[in-house]
Amino acid sequence: MKNFLFISSLLISISSTNLFAQNFKIQLPPGYNKIITQEELPGKEGSPYLTEVWAPGIITLQSGAKIESLQFRYNVYSKEIQYKLDTTTYVIGTPDSIKTISFANKHFIYTDFVENFKIKKDFFELLVDGKAKLFRRYFIEIIPANYNIALSTGNKNDRLVLRESLFVQSPNMDMIELDKKGKLILKAFSDKSAEINEYIRKEHLSLKNLNDLIKITTTYNSMN
């Protein structure tokens, strides 16, 4: 609470407008933005959130300082992690100042990745940490409206559908999205190729199964 009392004394008012709502923002020190908004998405159905339920968690700053006793939720559509203090909702305004955000038994980092040959940034759930890392990225796919007036069938609104993809990073490879068959993880762990392939065979693991990919990455990290 002391942290937020200090932050409150540094508020500078600004206002901004986004595509779907009028947002009234208050600029806080790096890493924090107070936001008061009605998040409506006209013409769209479905939730923009990973889960709409607020969950307790912790912010760890790059300095190592921790801010606790907060409630969080992740707006995947807007790529913003929100937190709540009392009845006020905030959004992480400069996520580069955050080391990790942990809530709902998940640990999120904000980092670079490559998509369509462009460097972008997003929040990733850290599934396995170590010399090799396994990440999960959540994103929203928009399914266009397909209403047929003549037949009175279909959906009049676009639909928001939650999707996810997996990424791996290792000493042999920069962060890369895994293919659907999971075979790129073998390339990431090529320095221990024989050992990893033997482990997969012995344990009857699948490169398409998330829990098995977690086991494989964890085992790789345990190897000298």
**Model confidence over 146-185: pLDDT tens digits?**
888 888 788 888 999 999 999 999 998 999 999 989 999 9
Distance CA 116, CA 15 (A): 33
Distance CA 24, CA 85 (A): 17
Distance CA 113, CA 191 (A): 23
Token pair, residue 200, equals: 């997969």
| Residue ranges covered by each domain of the chain | 2-177
Q: What are phi and psi of 154, to 5 degrees?
A: 95, -175
Chain mean pLDDT for the chain: 83
Say if CB 35 and CB 44 are below 8 A apart. Answer: no
Say if CB 44 and CB 159 are below 8 A apart. Answer: yes
Q: What are phi and psi of 117, to 5 degrees?
A: 65, 15
pTM of the model: 0.80
- For 181, the 3-state DSSP assignment is coil
Closest CA to 102 of 65, 56, 134, 136: 56
Q: Is residue 36 scored above 50 in pLDDT?
A: no
Q: Is residue 28 scored above 90 in pLDDT?
A: no
Q: What is the mean pLDDT of residues 104-130?
A: 95
